[in-house]
Chain A
Amino acid sequence: MTADVFRATGIGKSYPGVRANDDVSFSVAPGEIHALLGENGAGKSTLVKMIYGLVRPDQGQMFLSGAPHAPHDPRAARAAGVAMVFQHFSLFDALTVAENVALGMENPPPRRELSARIAQVSRDFGLPLNPARRVVTLSAGERQRVEIIRCLLQDPRLLIMDEPTSVLTPQEAELLFATLRKLAGQGTAILYISHKLDEIRGHCDRATILRHGRVVDSCDPRAHSARELAAMMVGGTMRQIDRSGRQAGEVMLEVAGLSLPAPTREGTALKDVTLTLRAGEILGIGGVAGNGQEELLAALSGEARSAPGRILLEGRDLSASGPDARRRAGLLAAPEDRLGHAAVPDFSLTENTLLTAGPRKGLVRRGMIDHRGARRFAEEVIAAFDVRTPGPGTAAKALSGGNLQKFVIGREVMQAPRVLIVNQPTWGVDAGAAAAVRQSLLDLARQGAGVIVISQDLDELLELSDRFSALNEGRLSPPVPTEGLTLDRIGLMLGGAHGMEEARI
């Protein structure tokens, strides 16, 4: 057996009421890209946090290149040769690229030397970056480059990547894998967390599968189908999505020449957005974050008003109407940020129900709240969408991401909208909940509603939508049928990766 870079034996960690990790053992060889697979809550994040010194294990031992590895904080882990790229970027918006990199290093060189080294590493790996730029001005892909370069400058023995491609275009993801391959070729061990099965099958050498905090299997992902991997993850077969029984009907929603200035300095202006949505149809809108998704949702939901004649629901001009008027007319929306935008964190589920379902379900009469009705409707949503919660009196913030997502989508779907617009409906949601949310959108379309799905998950869009449009810098491309569309083609529609074409072609 070759000397492993990293080995864990019998790792266990408990939180009050939860066994996050139980007797976890696995090892990573030099030059290996090792996938850690599992649903949300399977214990992947806790496990890597222990390796990175953010959390301490209750039981078990870890070894790095044969030596015991028990870091008491991330600095100790970094000194030992562990680097980590976080799922939610651990970057500082107001600081420059060089300052961000310096913060991730133990003994950063003087500023000028550091800038030179950043420039050099970014050239070596084909990851263009300007050290003097402020992070706030960077795209998601560029931000990730900052994190990766921060890791590379420390010559790590073990590089941990926590769901790194969730915000990248296919081209950017390819570039990332090329970088990882190069690193692995130099002997770095890479621990790769993801729930994108195709990605893991295409690029990882080995996979360890976690379920409920335990290692349930270990395999060569290239030798298994995505379906088999998913089955290992959830411990049963996945339900196939049912797309059948839908017919395109009357035009439900028409948007013509919708232009809106950017709401904030960092926002995106909508430029001449035109689309038509028919009954029973699902229109998928893809694009890299920050290209106008939030602005488009706001314009359609009524949060932002537009000039007359821009937004027509079944022929009725709703351009100047606010969200409540649009809800009454049947145009509903579920925004991306579930905690804070779609739901008020400190409100109970019943109260959150009232916020969007009030007008359409008649839960407010003469200015008075119908509490009993609201509670009943909240209970219906909880039952129909299998929201795991003690009851409708629970505060929204107490729900897990997946459960709250099921609730906010369910709240809109159960109001029987004529048109529903959702943004990132399954962001950060585990496979089971994601499948349930997607099926509910398909079912809604089957009942004759029009659905617009805005998402950065291209697999999701291909799975759900009948037609696909790309949103790029506030412009919406003409729709193309999803049938026969490849990820490559979509990548090109998204305008490729920011500033990457030259480096690649």
Chain B
Amino acid sequence: MMIDPLSVFLVLLGAATPILFAALGELVAERAGVLNLGVEGMMITGALAGFAAAYASGNPFLGFATAAVAGAAISLLFAALTQVFLSNQVASGLALTLFGLGLAAMLGKPFEGVRAPVMPAGPLRINWIVWLGLVMVPAIWWFLNRTRRGLILRAVGENHDAAHALGYNVRLTRLAAIAFGGAMAGIGGAFISIATVLQWTEGMTAGAGWIALAIVVFSNWTAPGVLAGAWLFGGVTVLQLRLQAAGVAVPVQLLSMAPYLATIIVLVAMSARQKFSRRAGGAAPGSLGTNFHALR
């Protein structure tokens, strides 16, 4: 049995991309203090909208653009609930996931069984969207840590009362962060339907949104950490597929479980360590998951 490391890495890049996008988007939202558990719902929305647009126009890139818009649009539903009507973020996020899954299943019926247009390969025969994801990692890091807007976003996530007292618009900052998270999740979902599976199937995101959420925590809320987490999950996914193909004498169920298991184990180990090093590096934003209500 031979598993070529380079080819595994190239496939890994693809396998990690949907989670990378979704987790980067959620990272920005969480740094702004918003816990959006609707990642799965936004991903599946993007997967369907992107696939439909790509199929109808024959242009996969138009598909990704549509997926971003659709993801942002459905995330604004969550934004309206939590930022305007101040409803609970956990409940609203879960509702968004259920709503997205149901809506996509219903609207996706006409697109079952058709194939997506073929994507032209990018540099080094690596998909353009994979490249885009890789570029987003330093871009988001730079935005968060080096720009004024990024600093304000982190301030809003860290202590919304203080940010408000200093005159920053907490609600607007969070709306923008949520919409960005939605667009990123949409692109991540579309990558599965347009670039990986090449067709639409109900529930095809298969929990990737939840893994993305876990990875944000595991990353300690940093962009490079998100990349590491996405690669870990993608790597184990590819590896177990290869092992399955190679016919290793391990039950298939165990192998299929491996990526999730590995992610959870690393997550728990990291959390246990972070419990004591909290605040040493960038840990959970102080206002994460709490709603802000200004008294005028």
Contacts and interface: CB of A to CB of B under 8 A. Distances in A.
Interface residues on B, range: 20 to 34
Interface in A44-95: 53-56, 73-78, 86, 89-95
Given A53-B167, A86-B165, A265-B279, A92 B155 contact: yes
B285 interface: yes
Interface in A90-104: 90-95, 99, 102-104
A108 interface: yes
A136 interface: yes
B272 to A, nearest CB: 14
B266 to A, nearest CB: 22
Given A95-B154, A102-B151, A136-B279, A90 B166 contact: yes
A92 B159 contact: yes
Contacts of A108: 148
Contacts of A56: 296
Given A55-B296, A93-B159, A103 B279 contact: no
Interface string B48-67: 00000000000000000000
A163 B148 CA distance: 30
B276 A265 contact: yes
Interface string B253-268: 0000000000000000
A134 interface: yes
B152 A103 contact: yes
B162 A94 contact: no
Interface of A: 53-56, 73-78, 86, 89-95, 99, 102-104, 108, 134, 136, 265-266
Contacts of A78: 167
B109 interface: no
16 contacts: A53-B167, A56-B296, A73-B167, A74-B166, A76-B167, A90-B166, A92-B155, A92-B158, A92-B159, A92-B286, A93-B286, A94-B286, A95-B155, A95-B158, A103-B152, A265-B277
Interface in B262-294: 276-280, 282-283, 285-286
Most chain-B Cβ atoms within 10 A of its Cβ — which of A53, A77, A94, A265? A94
A266 B283 CA distance: 14
Given A103-B151, A103-B152, A90 B279 contact: no
Nearest to A104: B166
Contacts of A104: 166
Contacts of B154: 92, 94-95, 99
B158 A94 contact: yes
Nearest to B162: A90
A186 to B, nearest CB: 24
B278 A265 contact: yes
A213 B97 CA distance: 50
A103 B163 CA distance: 8
Contacts of B277: 265
Nearest to A94: B158
A172 B191 CA distance: 58
Interface in B157-180: 158-159, 161-163, 165-168
B152 to A, nearest CB: 7
A293 B94 CA distance: 41
Contacts of A76: 167
Contacts of B148: 102, 108
Contacts of B155: 92, 95, 99, 103
Contacts of B158: 92-95
Contacts of A90: 159, 161-162, 165-166
Contacts of B165: 54, 74, 86, 90
A75 B167 contact: yes
B159 A91 contact: yes
